[in-house]
Amino acid sequence: MNQVSHGDTPLQSGQAPAPDRVAATVRRDIRAMAAYSIGHADGGIKLDAMENPYGLPDAVRDDIAAAVRATALNRYPDDAAALHRAVRQAFDIPATAGLLFGNGSDELINLIVQACCEPGDVVLAPAPSFVIFEMAARFNHARYVGVPLTAGLELDLPAMLAAIATHRPKVIFLALPNNPTGGMWPTAAVQAILDAAPGLVVIDEAYQPFADHTWMPLAAELPNAVVLRTVSKLGLAGLRFGYLAGPAAWIGEFDKVRPPYNVDVLTQAVLLAVLRHKDVLDGQAAQLRADREPLAKALAELPGVVVHPSAANFLLLRFSGKLRADAVHQALKSRKIWVRAFGGSDPLLNNCLRISIGTPAENAALLAALREILERS
């Protein structure tokens, strides 16, 4: 029987370890945390995680099936040279830029902080932004400094520049467009941050497929910046694949802390197959982009609802008057429509909900539900 044992005394399965042993061993800050909670959408309409709502057509699925069938699961992943070539071509990565793959871009965010930060070094980002920036800082014993956005949820450039001068951050994360607000920081403001940064600036373009601007063409040229992307929001969230492009000198250092084989053979094989049909993903992204403005306009016409301008595949809504975001969240939940609430995580997000753009039918169902909820309140 397989049983974890310590010396001669096998642990009975289900036997709880002494709580003081856990407390004395696990880091205090980790014990004080809650694990990253992943929404559980039980059927219904899932608009809480910026996923692409469209599945892949059968022809693409057949290609994936053939690629998986041909994959040697008994071998460790190789150096992924074929995937490097395909990713460079599919996503217009400059030939001279270094390129690193991650198990989702979440992993790359962690590797960057791990490689750059000694205990107490500062990781800085506008706030609110993507929560993984702060988690990566904490896990790696760095100090996280969040610089609040303006009341209108725009970048506060003077505050950013002041915080950079005060805290001398090793790493600055800029999500462009920003999650969860959807806004795109002006290019001149980003340039001012690049000029002022004493360390590295990570430009996180997770939502680039839905935006009009990218820093990727400059990925080999900006001396202190790297460009981070993911295929998650494009339609492959289940695959867990992200990539980082930048000057080879930076990328080479991050490669040293990358766990060997972090992108498994199935992910590699499936991605290679899907990228042969990248036009399908691009078409779906174009559809979501086209549906964004009409949905934003219809939502903004609801009484007491303000929609923040978005360059991403989601919208941030703020409720006012007697309508509370938590009540709307609950009412949508009872109709099996899943959206993101923020539970007081940041005062700037008070009374806000974040909603992914869905299919036209899903967007219509959301609107109908919200109209009904508003009428009853």
Ligand X SMILES: *Cc1c(COP(=O)(O)O)cnc(C)c1O
- What are the structure tokens assigned to 264, written together? 């498994």
Residue in the block written with tokens 């910046």: 225
DSSP state of 75: S
| Distance (Å, whole) CA 286 – CA 134 | 31
* Residue 93, SS3 per DSSP: coil
Strand partners, 307: 317
Least distance to ligand X, CB of residue 204, Å = 5
In 3D space, the residue among 125, 158, 130, 126 whose CA is nearest the CA of residue 142 turns out to be 125
Q: 48 or 204, CB closer to ligand X?
A: 204
Q: 122 or 202, CB closer to ligand X?
A: 202
Q: 232 or 267, CB closer to ligand X?
A: 232
Q: 83 or 175, CB closer to ligand X?
A: 175
- What are the structure tokens assigned to 288, written together? 């979501």
Q: 48 or 156, CB closer to ligand X?
A: 48
Binding site for ligand X (CB under 6 A): 104-106, 130, 175, 179, 204, 206, 230, 232, 237, 242
In 3D space, the residue among 37, 61, 60 whose CA is nearest the CA of residue 49 turns out to be 37
* Residue 291, SS3 per DSSP: helix
| Distance (Å, whole) CA 347 – CA 349 | 5
Least distance to ligand X, CB of residue 307, Å = 19
What are the CA-CA distances from residue 164 to residues 4, 88, 146, 173 (Å)? 49, 33, 11, 12
Least distance to ligand X, CB of residue 107, Å = 7
Least distance to ligand X, CB of residue 178, Å = 7
CA distance from start to end of the chain: 60
Least distance to ligand X, CB of residue 242, Å = 4
Q: 238 or 283, CB closer to ligand X?
A: 238
Q: 353 or 373, CB closer to ligand X?
A: 353
Least distance to ligand X, CB of residue 52, Å = 12
Least distance to ligand X, CB of residue 239, Å = 9
Give the amino acid at 160.
M
| Distance (Å, whole) CA 274 – CA 48 | 25
Q: 175 or 299, CB closer to ligand X?
A: 175
Listed in sequence order, the DSSP H helices in the chain are 19-25, 28-31, 58-69, 81-90, 104-116, 131-139, 157-167, 187-196, 248-257, 265-275, 278-300, 325-334, 360-376
In 3D space, the residue among 114, 195, 137 whose CA is nearest the CA of residue 161 turns out to be 195
| Distance (Å, whole) CA 132 – CA 109 | 8
Least distance to ligand X, CB of residue 324, Å = 25
Strand partners, 355: 315
